[in-house]
Amino acid sequence: MCRIAGLVTNRLQVDEVKRAVKVMCEALQHGGPDDEGLFYSADANVTFGHRRLSIIDLSKRGHQPMADQNLKAWITFNGEIYNYNELKTQLQQLGATFNSDTDTEVIIQAYLHWGTNSFSKLRGMFAFALYDTISGAVYLVRDSTGIKPLYYYATEGQISFASEIRAFKAAGLATDEDTRWPVWLLAFGHIPEPYTTLKNVLSIPKGHFLCWNKNGAHTIEKYQQTAITDCITDIQSAREGINHYLKKAVIRQLIADAPIGVFLSGGIDSSLLTLLAAQKKQDLKTISIFFNEKEYDERAYQHAVLDKLSGSNFTHLVKQHDFETHLPKILGAMDMPTTDGINSWFISKYAREDGLKTVLSGIGADELFGGYPSFDRIKYLRYLKMLPAAPFTLSKLFSDDRVKKFGYLKQDNTAADYLFLRGLYAPVDIAKLIDMDEDEVNSTLFDDLDIPALDKYDKLNAAWLETNMYMQNQLLHDTDIMSMSHGLEVRVPFLNEDFQQYVSQIHPSIRFHGNQPKKILIDAFEGLVPEVVWNRPKMGFTFPLQKWMAANESISNKNNYKGTAAKKIINKFNKGKIHWSRAFALYQVQGHV
């Protein structure tokens, strides 16, 4: 796991290019504290930079950027390839030779033998740049689930790329702000892909690769092909398949030459991963957090799992004082504004301090098996969308924020459907808060975002929304950015490609239980997760942020905000009438970061 950056250009002098990429890498040092490297081609048109976090093959043989023996291809790679040993065996049978035990070298040889078809053979989380010295092409490639970030900025005759937005700004390659980002943040609570806070700095779509040819033109192509298979309708077969593929994913993702552990929150997903990992690794280390606020204390559920383990548990008390002390660092780590990630910042901080370099996380299970309220709420959309638009247009005249969100339903747009279910502010309020015309707000939300239309309002489409909107843009981005700010790698077994593909084949009638979220997942590992863990109301990995932010003078003082509309919002927040995420989004939009 690392951080990568690079520049392909025929417009700058050699020293300028080297300096720019070096500055980019320095800005990314936190994500790769163990080593650094720089490669530039003979004509200096291609320059790759790398910051290394050593997880597999900790020796100098893992140094990057890396090339094959004949220097046919160079790579700078961020991520983990979990099936690299299987691929390595296949490649050796084809005559490939290897100088290291790294997964990085396997990617190079896979490309040399299979070309761009090799990208779909990779199982893992990855973002890499690969330079073909024979054809002169440069490829930017991102994993099929979008776990690892990869951004690019293309202008005439030049393209730059990096793992974080801050690298472009640090090197002065892209500095103009995309003025639409406050609209997105106030609506979504995050910046939706492919956009960023910088103008024309975009994200490589998941499961795609960008090809930059030697003439300075580029294309973006999808490499991930979905296999056509029969639908699984037998519940016992489905349970057995879930059991098999998740166990396989956990075993694969425990491969590491550096200390590894598991985040244990006390919920179903982290508890299941912990217990499965403990079957393979008896000295398993777990990291847990607890609070003085009793309504957020999950120690009873954590202990129900820990009682089954023989490894070490590191438990940390997080108090309001800790939040106050570290808030500036948390905001600085974000890279782009978001209403999530505070919890990930703290758990990653403690994991690293406890000596771990990589951990397993339960992200993805809720999206796969119906763990969010939206899975039940989406059915109401089916009926509401049958009504004429006129009543929804009038919703903005009401003072109740929840009523105002009905205004989203006048839009025939998937983003509007998602925002009705999960959005922070209605367009009428966003317009007031940032002094923008409401029509321009609507255009930014519904014309500028290219999101496929839903064919139904059922749980399968709720899964699509949660996976491609909430998880993709918020959970995965914020987990990556916050963990890597501490030089920690987070692995997500529920997003294993083979497991995801298997679950997608299960018929919705048995994949989603009517009354109990994730029932099929629990039943697939019958008796493994203690009943006290799964037979309780869902909490999620939640901090007491409503209380902590209300007590934080910087966030809760209305005098820190500009405009009557903003001050009214903060007054409501201080009275406990709106959720902390709305106040936190407004706090960032008003220039406090």
**pTM score:** 0.95
Q: Residues 404, 396: contact at Cβ < 8 Å? A: yes
- Nearest-angstrom CA–CA distance, 3 and 480: 11
- Distance set, CA 464 to CA 171, 223, 411, 479 (Å): 37, 20, 19, 20
Residue 251: CATH number of its domain: 3.40.50.620
- Residues 305-332: tens digit of each pLDDT: 999 998 889 999 999 999 999 999 999 9
- Strand order of the β-sheet with 260-263 is 312-317, 285-290, 260-263, 358-360, 489-491
- 554 occurs within a structural domain: no
- 262 occurs within a structural domain: yes
Amino acid at 338: T
pLDDT tier, 591 (very low <50, low <70, confident <90, very high otherwise): confident
216 and 95 inside one domain: yes
Task: Give percent above pLDDT 90 in the chain.
Answer: 78
Write down which residue in 543, 560, 578 finishes a domain: 543
Residues in the chain: 593
- 113 occurs within a structural domain: yes
Is residue 34 pLDDT above 90, yes or no?
A: no
Q: Residues 460, 329: contact at Cβ < 8 Å? A: no
Q: Residues 433, 186: contact at Cβ < 8 Å? A: yes
Q: Pick the catalytic residue: 2, 25, 211, 231?
A: 2
- When pLDDT is averaged across residues 319-347 and rounded to a whole number, the result is 96
156 and 108 inside one domain: yes
58 and 113 inside one domain: yes
- 518 occurs within a structural domain: yes
239 and 218 inside one domain: no
- When pLDDT is averaged across residues 357-384 and rounded to a whole number, the result is 93
- Nearest-angstrom CA–CA distance, 291 and 532: 20
Chain mean pLDDT for the chain: 92
93 and 201 inside one domain: yes
Please report the pLDDT score of residue 2 as a whole number: 86
- 115 occurs within a structural domain: yes
Helix (H) or strand (E) holding 251: helix 235-253
Tokens of 332: 């600085």
Please report the pLDDT score of residue 226 as a whole number: 66
250 and 214 inside one domain: no
- When pLDDT is averaged across residues 292-312 and rounded to a whole number, the result is 88
- Nearest-angstrom CA–CA distance, 402 and 220: 40
Is 443 within any annotated ligand binding site? no
Is 348 within any annotated ligand binding site? no
Is 283 within any annotated ligand binding site? no
- Of 42-56, 287-301, 464-478, the one with minimum mean pLDDT is 42-56
User: Which has more confidence, 205 or 392?
Assistant: 205
pLDDT tier, 593 (very low <50, low <70, confident <90, very high otherwise): very low
- Of 11-25, 48-62, 91-105, 351-365, the one with minimum mean pLDDT is 48-62
Q: Is 168 helix (H, G, I), strand (E, B) or coil?
A: helix
The answer to whether 25 is a known catalytic residue is no
DSSP state of 506: B
First and final CA of the chain: distance in angstroms? 27
Q: Is 155 helix (H, G, I), strand (E, B) or coil?
A: strand
- Residues 219-274: tens digit of each pLDDT: 999 997 666 667 999 999 999 999 999 999 999 999 888 889 999 998 999 999 99
Helix (H) or strand (E) holding 418: helix 414-422
Is residue 55 pLDDT above 80, yes or no?
A: no
- 447 occurs within a structural domain: no
43 and 75 inside one domain: yes
**Whole domain around residue 471: which residue ranges?**
235-370+465-543
- Distance set, CA 414 to CA 449, 462, 467 (Å): 10, 11, 13
159 and 13 inside one domain: yes
Residue 30: CATH number of its domain: 3.60.20.10
33 and 109 inside one domain: yes
Write down which residue in 222, 246, 281 finishes a domain: 222
Write down which residue in 543, 568, 587 finishes a domain: 543
Cis peptide before 205 (omega within 30 of 0): no
Is residue 1 pLDDT above 70, yes or no?
A: no
Is 362 within any annotated ligand binding site? yes
- 517 occurs within a structural domain: yes
Amino acid at 316: H
Amino acid at 268: I
196 and 332 inside one domain: no
201 and 99 inside one domain: yes
- 385 occurs within a structural domain: no
**Side-chain half-sphere of 262: how many Cα atoms within 13 Å?**
36
- Residues 399-431: tens digit of each pLDDT: 777 778 888 888 889 999 999 999 999 999 999
Q: Which residues contact 488 (CB under 8 A, 6 or more apart)?
A: 348, 351, 352, 356, 357, 358, 359
203 and 94 inside one domain: yes
Number of domains in the chain: 2
- Nearest-angstrom CA–CA distance, 271 and 533: 8
- Of 74-83, 304-313, 484-493, the one with minimum mean pLDDT is 304-313
